[in-house]
Structure 1
Amino acid sequence: MVAVAHIMNATLVIPQLDKRSFWKDSSVFSDIFDELHFIKSLKGDVRIVKELPNILEGVPRARKHFTSWSGVGYYEEMTRLWDDYQVIHVAKSDSRLANNDLPLDIQRLRCRAMYHALRFSPPIENLGKRLVDRLRSQGGRYIALHLRYEKDMLSFTGCAYGLTNAESEELRILRENTNYWKVKKINSTEQRIGGFCPLTPKEVGVFLHALGYPPSTPIYIAAGEIYGGNTHLWELSSRFPNLIFKESLATPEELKAFANHASQTAALDYIICVESDVFVPTYSGNMARAVEGHRRFLGHRKTINPDRKGLVGIFDMLETGELEEGKELSHMVQRMHKNRQGAPRKRHGSLPGVKGRARFRTEESFYENPYPECICGSRSKLGIT
């Protein structure tokens, strides 16, 4: 939206955050981000105010759902709204701008917003850095595992593999009763075969072992409450007992201020994930994509992105006994992921054969991989030192 405001010559009002989500977090923008730094950092690109001026509260406003993945021409056309309105209320802000084929200055503005202007609030930034230091002091290198095996994610995706009938039914009811989740009936088996399910804790254990990581590897679990608790988590901890949670790294007093604020604890996870030696996301959600993009920007830090669709066949062969854990399995998994570890590469375009606007949905997200526009020989070009 920073880039959109720049294109439309608009003043950007600090956004209001979603309060309807499963986590029902009451956090506002300034609880999570350093608001003053955000405003000052972008003052040469766009004017930003903390709230809508009182004089504009009663004026007619346009409530607009901007078209997803739109280019500069679309937003230049949208400036006609200023003929009739002084305020535009943007109902949705995610994926409103194209990933590709935008002017270089717009792409670099997006990166200034993401990697320079958006800085976490001092309480989050300070605690996040302390937790990273504590992790390092315990053994140096660590893996950050974004384990999206949480109730809302499993319910939203309709993924029930490995769950009991009672658990599957509980998730179905939650999905049915969450009004803003549009898809209600989901075939769990088809979801898994298509690679649309997060890896289970057991699958993560098999995956990391096949990649060659020893059982003693420190693994930081970046996640909310794991669905089923220790019952499901044991399938990972039995292989990798050195699991570390923010609750074991931080004191109760340090975490007290963040209680019941999932966005703020997710920000702590974000810092620890960005600074990790290896980042492994089990699902390609917004946070996983943002962390991967940030790590690419900082020098293509190692991010191992599981080929969830490809791994299903391997996991099923293990279940049926057609394949056993050992050298053959390791060779298969390592070969499958040779080119999925965060090495420099240009963003993937749309999938072949997909036409119309649907092709934009299949493109790799700019936030997942800002290469090459934002990763160049001199970062000073981005206004970043």
Structure 2
Amino acid sequence: MELLGYLNQGHPSRGTTLVITLSLVLSTLVSFSTFTHAFSSSAFPELNPIKPRHSRLLRSAVQHETPTSQLSEIWSPLESQGWKPYVESNKPTLPEKSEGYIQVFLDGGLNQQRMGICDAVAVAKILNATLVIPYLELNPVWRDSSSFMDIFDVDHFIDVLKDDISIVKELPKEFSWSTREYYGLAIRETRIKAAPVHASAHWYLENVLPVLQSYGIAAISPFSHRLSFDNLPMDIQHLRCKVNFQALTFVPHIRALGDALISRLRYPEGSAGEMGSNYLQEVTGAGARKNAGKFVVLHLRFDKDMAAHSACDFGGGKAEKLALAKYRQVIWQGRVLNSQFTDEELRSQGRCPMTPEEVGLLLAAMGFDNSTRLYLASHKVYGGEARISTLRELFPLMEDKKSLASSEERSQIKGKASLLAALDYYVGLHSDIFISASPGNMHNALVGHRTYLNLKTIRPNMALMGQLFLNKTIEWSEFQDAVVEGHQNRQGELRLRKPKQSIYTYPAPDCMCQA
């Protein structure tokens, strides 16, 4: 104030101007600070402190020591369940003439597209058509433009299926006009737009074959989930299995990086400081080592989309509830079925995804302790490190892509959601134990693939866990007993596929036979 008074002496107009200017600046700063605080609280609740929701259980879990006998049992591999992968007895033969070219346009994430590819091969076989390598649509959420050839080994794909169907990488010149852009401009007679969900083989023969015979080409879009799982010839079912479990392998650089991560998880000593572009050499040398360690892969599906769509309360306070409600309104215009239920109702029905803290408590109750090497397979976790910290407290040896591989090693997959998911899929497939925090396409795909290979996979009992976490007075011993009992038959036990269930999640009996 003394400074302002001094300035006013002899220069009233200049002083007045300065006072007004300073007042405006101060007002702006205060307003901006208030706006920033309000905006960060509502739009970015992950910046707010997130406290553990189950502190009593967490303290007990951290202090609990798992008996050696329980550790030995939980790490033991599955015994033979009397089923093995189906092996072709007769070599398939290609028909003399193809009816034309089949194009499919696949949306969704990596694993939804994977299932679509398998169905596309089956449809090509049903129609006696030549399959054009499927086109992968740009995912509006992940914004990844990776093509089939960026993700999957296309030459291996074609070679494995060479006796089943004809496959081309691109259309011949006379059909070069048949592109996604062409079908986006107007209604085209060669586009099949009305394929029903889970269509029968008969539907394709009645509706697509005539188009093929008339024009020599048919483009099906949309195509996801457009082939039935039931009432198909057994050779078509076997072919879908062959595509999924044999023909679809990732490109060499994904497999090489995946093998390097697996090696570093199994042999942590000596891995530190060895990160670089020579991971192929590192993996080659790993085969000679002894005493390989075991590791768990946790697919932590807890992104903002899932948190918002679940309509559950995750303990982030009013700011988080408001932010998720606004997100639901923007993305789904508020039309979310779960919104009509209370958090208690949703949890008791098993409809809430588990937080990192909750899935950590599940693993701890099953017997995994702080010596467990845990690989975290996930995209961005809603709430960031603040939510992951409780999981890290339980499992200090937790790793992920960034901690195991250098920036240079990850350069080919950086920012590419499909390639990052492919790497997680590969590591998850080769882990000793796989668990997903909540159901979804990655969970379903890996449950099916690991069932096919008879590998241990924990399927969380979501309804049980929801009910246990609602009990705020439960003691650790009671919680642990309930978790162990509730997961006795949820660790890789083979389940036969029922009508309408996916062949890719339940591969027996279509993809397997009794030994």
Alignment TM-score > 0.5, same fold: yes
Matches for 1:147-166 after TM superposition, within 5 Å: 147-166=300-319
Percent of aligned pairs with the same amino acid: 39
Whether 1:145 aligns to 2:264 is no
Q: Contact 2:352/2:466 (CA < 8 Å) preserved in 1? A: no
Whether 1:196 aligns to 2:351 is yes
Relative distance call for 1:167 and 1:369 in structure 2 (3 A) is: same
Rounded Cα–Cα distance in structure 2 between residues aligned with 1:330 and 1:98: 41
Match of 1:383 in 2: none
| Offset, 1:87 | 2.8
Moved over 6 A (4+): none
Match of 2:15 in 1: none
Aligned match of 2:507 in 357, 370, 379? Answer: 370
Aligned match of 1:8 in 127, 131, 134? Answer: 127
Rounded Cα–Cα distance in structure 2 between residues aligned with 1:292 and 1:101: 23
Instruction: Note the alpha carbon deviations across 1:305-347, whole angstroms, 9 max, x for none.
Output: 0011222111111x2x1x1111x22221122111111112312
Matches for 1:30-69 after TM superposition, within 5 Å: 30-58=149-177, 60-69=189-198
Whether 1:302 aligns to 2:456 is yes
Instruction: Note the alpha carbon deviations across 1:182-208, whole angstroms, 9 max, x for none.
Output: 945641735444323321111101211
Match of 1:109 in 2: 239
Matches for 1:329-340 after TM superposition, within 5 Å: 329-340=479-490
Whether 1:259 aligns to 2:414 is yes
Rounded Cα–Cα distance in structure 1 between residues aligned with 2:312 and 2:134: 32
Relative distance call for 1:87 and 1:64 in structure 2 (3 A) is: farther
Relative distance call for 1:133 and 1:27 in structure 2 (3 A) is: same
Rounded Cα–Cα distance in structure 2 between residues aligned with 1:51 and 1:171: 43
Rounded Cα–Cα distance in structure 2 between residues aligned with 1:95 and 1:44: 25
Rounded Cα–Cα distance in structure 1 between residues aligned with 2:467 and 2:233: 42
Relative distance call for 1:155 and 1:90 in structure 2 (3 A) is: farther
- Compute the TM-score of the two structures, normalised by the length of structure 1: 0.86
Rounded Cα–Cα distance in structure 2 between residues aligned with 1:338 and 1:66: 41
Rounded Cα–Cα distance in structure 2 between residues aligned with 1:276 and 1:164: 36
Match of 2:142 in 1: 23
Q: Contact 1:221/1:245 (CA < 8 Å) preserved in 2? A: yes
Rounded Cα–Cα distance in structure 1 between residues aligned with 2:139 and 2:313: 24
Q: Contact 1:22/1:152 (CA < 8 Å) preserved in 2? A: no
* Secondary structure in structure 1 of the residue aligned to 2:370: coil
Rounded Cα–Cα distance in structure 2 between residues aligned with 1:147 and 1:156: 16
| Offset, 1:145 | 0.3
Aligned match of 1:241 in 392, 396, 407? Answer: 396
Q: Give the letter aligned to residue 330 of structure 1.
A: Q
Q: Give the letter aligned to residue 145 of structure 2.
A: S
Rounded Cα–Cα distance in structure 2 between residues aligned with 1:291 and 1:127: 19
* Secondary structure in structure 2 of the residue aligned to 1:254: coil
Whether 1:342 aligns to 2:492 is yes
Match of 2:250 in 1: 120
Q: Contact 1:292/1:303 (CA < 8 Å) preserved in 2? A: yes
Rounded Cα–Cα distance in structure 2 between residues aligned with 1:23 and 1:291: 21
* Secondary structure in structure 1 of the residue aligned to 2:125: helix
Rounded Cα–Cα distance in structure 2 between residues aligned with 1:192 and 1:63: 41
Instruction: Note the alpha carbon deviations across 1:115-138, whole angstroms, 9 max, x for none.
Output: 111110111111111111111112
Q: Contact 1:62/1:85 (CA < 8 Å) preserved in 2? A: no
Whether 1:325 aligns to 2:464 is no
Whether 1:76 aligns to 2:197 is no
* Secondary structure in structure 1 of the residue aligned to 2:298: strand
Rounded Cα–Cα distance in structure 2 between residues aligned with 1:14 and 1:192: 42
Q: Contact 1:64/1:88 (CA < 8 Å) preserved in 2? A: no
Relative distance call for 1:128 and 1:251 in structure 2 (3 A) is: same
Whether 1:314 aligns to 2:468 is yes
Rounded Cα–Cα distance in structure 2 between residues aligned with 1:96 and 1:182: 28
The root-mean-square deviation of aligned C-alpha atoms, in Å, is 2.2
| Offset, 1:85 | 4.1
Instruction: Note the alpha carbon deviations across 1:91-147, whole angstroms, 9 max, x for none.
Output: 233222222332221111011111111110111111111111111112610110000
Rounded Cα–Cα distance in structure 2 between residues aligned with 1:199 and 1:372: 31
- How many residues were matched structurally? 359
Q: Contact 1:142/1:219 (CA < 8 Å) preserved in 2? A: yes
Relative distance call for 1:51 and 1:209 in structure 2 (3 A) is: same
Match of 1:357 in 2: none
Q: Contact 1:145/1:219 (CA < 8 Å) preserved in 2? A: yes
Match of 2:40 in 1: none
* Secondary structure in structure 1 of the residue aligned to 2:134: coil
* Secondary structure in structure 2 of the residue aligned to 1:238: helix
Relative distance call for 1:307 and 1:101 in structure 2 (3 A) is: farther
Q: Give the letter aligned to residue 147 of structure 1.
A: L
Match of 2:436 in 1: 281
Unaligned runs of 5+ in 2: 1-119, 179-188, 269-291
Which one has a bigger Cα radius of gyration?
2
* Secondary structure in structure 2 of the residue aligned to 1:279: strand
Rounded Cα–Cα distance in structure 1 between residues aligned with 2:314 and 2:215: 50
| Offset, 1:267 | 0.6
| Offset, 1:375 | 2.0
Match of 1:87 in 2: 217
- Compute the TM-score of the two structures, normalised by the length of structure 2: 0.65
Match of 1:177 in 2: 330
Q: Contact 1:100/1:366 (CA < 8 Å) preserved in 2? A: no
Bigger shift: residues 278-287 or 170-179: 170-179
| Offset, 1:239 | 1.8
Q: Contact 2:347/2:470 (CA < 8 Å) preserved in 1? A: no
* Secondary structure in structure 2 of the residue aligned to 1:105: helix
Relative distance call for 1:50 and 1:331 in structure 2 (3 A) is: same
Relative distance call for 1:336 and 1:26 in structure 2 (3 A) is: same
